[in-house]
Chain A
Amino acid sequence: MMPSEQAPTAKPAVKYRSQLRIYVDIMKVIQREGNQAKPTRILYGANLSHDRLVKYLEELKTLEIIQETGDEEKTYSLTQKGIEFMNNFRKVESFAGAFGFKI
């Protein structure tokens, strides 16, 4: 076998994101966009399919973490609860990261 060839049985190492990680990725995109993000931005920024994006945005709205504004051109922003969650999450991320643990 040539060095460039892959063994047919070798599977790529896939690490699936947890639901929390996806929530956080969405919220990070919204914050990065100045707390006013359009769905397309979130879709690309959080690397999600359209169906999954709609599902997670609905869940975050139900949890009162984000709010939706605009009728024709929807935008999403973090609520106060969402901002507090992100502040706490960043602390946890920083704490775990100091030990070398990823969350």
Chain B
Amino acid sequence: MHNAEVSLLFSNTLGDRLAAAVGFFGFDSLMELVGFAIAIAVAFQAMKGYTLAKERTLLYLNFSFILLGAGLLVEGLANLVVLFSRFHRGGLLFLSSVGYTINFFAEVLAFGILIFAYLQQTRAWSMQLAAAALPIMLVERNPFTELILIFLLVYIAAQTAINYSISKTTNALLVFSAFTSLVIGHVFFLLFTVSPIFFPFAHIFQLFGFLLLLAMLFRVNQAR
């Protein structure tokens, strides 16, 4: 009854896809909240590092993960509110779009800041300008928004791959795998705009990416 009720509330194309993925609702929010907690832990570690070393790239890392965490928190909570609201659920559905919009802009900014940090090290100013000129205007999950995020994430994943190929450390491998996992997650989000079957996979890969970052944090803090 509950699933059928939710399914009826969606009527447009995106709604149809969401309705088909409705069995996964709730889990996606929980995964996003776990991602939020891990992102904040990474941001905290970056802030600790900045306090000690006064290195600006760590501050960028801190901002980036705070934004990532905030976006995940807002989207996760917005979806939970819609899922658990007993009355006026139809009226509250716009919250999902608001949550996604905020998360999208937060992610674009977060990945943009991270790319800026990488470019600061390589001093490629023309690329910085190109990153800053990204278009921003969208509301619902669609192929265009996902393509922007994939584009940004692929650049970051490539940078972390280069770092791993040079340093060959386990921590660098974990960070590279984390961003690769986030790329795959967003590729599945892109495919979700075609078929609902990809929705759970997208969230699972996104969560896996954050768990890899958590593993890296544990390793860093356990090292003597």
Enumerate the 10 nearest inter-chain pairs by beta-carbon distance, A residue then B residue, closest first. A100-B163, A98-B171, A92-B49, A103-B55, A101-B57, A98-B175, A95-B220, A103-B53, A94-B220, A98-B172
Stretch at the interface among A38-46, A61-69, A73-81, A82-90: A82-90
**How big is chain B's contact interface, by range?**
20 to 34
How far does the Cβ of B145 sit from chain A's closest Cβ, in whole Å?
A: 25
B216 surroundings in chain A (CB, below 8 A): 95, 98
Q: Are A100 and B159 in touch, CB under 8 angstroms? A: yes
B46 touches A95 (CB 8 A): yes
B61 at the interface (CB under 8 A from A): yes
B174: CB under 8 A from chain A?
yes
8 further A-B pairs in the complex, CB-CB below 8 A; given A100-B162, A103-B53: A89-B53, A90-B223, A92-B48, A94-B171, A95-B220, A98-B169, A100-B118, A101-B121
A95 CB contacts on chain B under 8 angstroms: 45-46, 49, 171, 216-217, 220
Looking at chain A's contact residues, the main secondary structure is: helix
CB distance from A56 to the nearest CB of B (A): 17
Q: Tell me whether B52 and A98 are in contact (CB under 8 A).
A: no
Given A20-B53, A89-B52, is A98 in contact with B220 using a C-beta cutoff of 8 Å?
A: yes
**CA of A88 to CA of B53, assembled, Å:** 10
B-side contacts of A101, CB under 8 Å:
55, 57-58, 61, 117, 121
Give the shortest distance, in Å, between B121 (CB) and chain A (any CB): 7
Residues of chain B with a CB closer than 8 A to A100's CB: 118, 121, 159-160, 162-163, 167, 172, 175
